[in-house]
Amino acid sequence: MIELTDEMRSRLRTALADGCPVMAASVDPDGQPKITFYGSAHVHSRDQLAVWVRNPESGVLSRLAANPRMAFLYRHPQDRVRWQFYGRGRVVDDPAVRTAVYDAIPDIEKAMDPDARGKAVLVDVDRVTGRDLDMSRDG
């Protein structure tokens, strides 16, 4: 069972300010991974991550439509903390969820999309690994 921790929530919330932005991978139509940084990545619920995709024409959105698999890497080298999150992402158009995701991102990310024209992506986390950690949706 996935139960993202308070430490994960706290660290991801401050990852960008701490100089440890979260890296994310999605899969293109040819099956190749595409890696990018997300300063907006955060814990949305006990078993979900969320990101705000500022550009509504971003390639990640079309990649998710074809293949929802995503992976995220958080690494804080000074504290020797590393987590990898694996799951399935999807664009969410529900206004309340969009607002909640946007409101949870860092101010610097909001400043790059002040009119909230981007898209909210929720990721249902299936597995988390890290130093002395391996949890999965299957138990």
Q: What is the CA radius of gyration of the chain?
A: 14
Hey, where are the domains in the chain?
6-131
CA 104/CA 81 separation, integer angstroms: 22
Q: What distance in Å separates the CA atoms of residue 131 and residue 82, rounded to the nearest whole number?
A: 6
How high is the pLDDT of residue 139? 55
For the chain, how long is the longest CA-to-CA vector?
41
Asked if residue 89 lies in contact with residue 68, where contact means CB atoms within 8 angstroms, the answer is yes
Q: Was domain 6-131 assigned CATH 2.30.110.10?
A: yes
pLDDT at 131: 75
Q: How far is CA 83 from the centre of its chain?
A: 12
pLDDT at 134: 77
> So what's the pLDDT on residue 45?
97
User: Mean pLDDT, consecutive 10-residue segments, the chain of 139 residues?
Assistant: 93 95 94 94 97 94 95 95 97 97 96 97 96 72
pLDDT at 1: 80
So what's the pLDDT on residue 17? 94
